[in-house]
Structure 1
Amino acid sequence: MMDIKTKNFGLVSYNEEDVLHFEEGIPGFEGLKSFILLSIEEFTPFKWLQSLDDTDIAFVIVDPKAIIKDYKVELDEETVKLLDIKDLNHILVFAIVVIPSEIEKMTANLKAPIIINAENNKGMQILLDNDDYMIKHPILKELKNADT
């Protein structure tokens, strides 16, 4: 077990095999290559992609299917190769969430999801060639509807 002191969650313990590797970083944060996924029950369906390179940075993420039930990701050959994906059933897909001071204006980036190969913990953010998905998709209404 290893420990890091995070800005948002205090001291967090994790196993080395839980570290996610983003070779290219995340656009705008190219220097951040190592992350862990944090799940905190009272914040479901949200999770955090906590940087190990800069412990002040954690991205709020959500499974896009919590927002749009039939959300689909089509991976191109380059992404499959870069993440060394052997089985599409072993990928995790997340959308980065932006939570402004006016929480009702919360959005998720459905156009550029985070893709993680759960078999080898390689991850990257991709840009989908699908005009149905927006970079700033309002999500509060969809999340409330999913609860009912």
Structure 2
Amino acid sequence: MIIETKYHGSTNIDEEQILQFSNGIPGFHDEKQFALLPLSEESPFFAMQSIQTSDLAFIVTSPFLFFQSYEFDLNPNTMEDLEIEKAEDVEVITILTVKEPFENTTANLRAPLIINRTNKKAKQIILENSEFQTKHLIIREG
């Protein structure tokens, strides 16, 4: 399937890899399908590209690459919604706010995206009672 993208132009994607957000994501409730496209071959960053809207893409990454102590428990409702049966099915990514200079880029650790790797169902959750915020610098000095 060929889609128009914000960062990659016309791109061929595998339809089986499309992430399905049954309720969209906060602020974009009509956007229900996204593809994860690497920004470059060696990059830990991806464009989470809307299938429907070519100019809508979020820069995302695995939070565990930058925040080794990042952890939380998934609530049973999320596990049921995404049909998660085992821990290996779960992938966690976080949306970045890219800034200039890049050292000022932040990750939203309060609202991670949870993906079931097996069926590609996905959902953004809000972590309640968490010390994590919506803007954590991904590059820390020192």
Alignment deviations for residues 38-91 of structure 1 (CA, whole Å, 9 cap, x no partner)? 113356211111100111111100101111112113110110111011112111
Which segments of structure 1 move beyond 6 Å, counting only runs of 4 or more? none
**Size of the alignment, in residue pairs?**
142
> Is 2:21 the counterpart of 1:22?
yes
Q: Which residue of 1 aligns with 2:81?
A: 82
Question: In terms of mean alpha carbon deviation, does 39-48 or 22-31 score higher?
Answer: 39-48
The SS at the match of 2:58 is strand
**So what's the TM-score if we normalise by structure 2?**
0.92
Higher helix fraction (1 or 2): 1
The SS at the match of 1:140 is coil
The SS at the match of 1:80 is helix
The SS at the match of 1:27 is coil
> Is 2:116 the counterpart of 1:125?
no
C-alpha contact (below 8 Å) 2:45/2:60 kept by paired residues:
yes
- AA aligned opposite 1:56: D
The SS at the match of 1:141 is coil
Gaps of 5+ in 2: none
Looking at structure 1, the residues matched to 47 and 77 of structure 2 have their Cα atoms a distance apart, in angstroms, of 26
What percent identity do the matched residue pairs reach? 38
Alignment deviations for residues 8-63 of structure 1 (CA, whole Å, 9 cap, x no partner)? 21111111111110001110111100011111335621111110011111110010
Spell out the pairing of 1:42-53 with structure 2 (5 A cutoff).
42=41, 44-53=43-52
Looking at structure 1, the residues matched to 115 and 15 of structure 2 have their Cα atoms a distance apart, in angstroms, of 16
Gaps of 5+ in 1: none
The SS at the match of 1:72 is coil
Cα 1:99–1:82, aligned 2, differ >3 Å: closer, same or farther?
same
C-alpha contact (below 8 Å) 1:111/1:130 kept by paired residues:
no
Q: Which residue of 2 aligns with 1:139?
A: 138
Cα 1:42–1:130, aligned 2, differ >3 Å: closer, same or farther?
farther
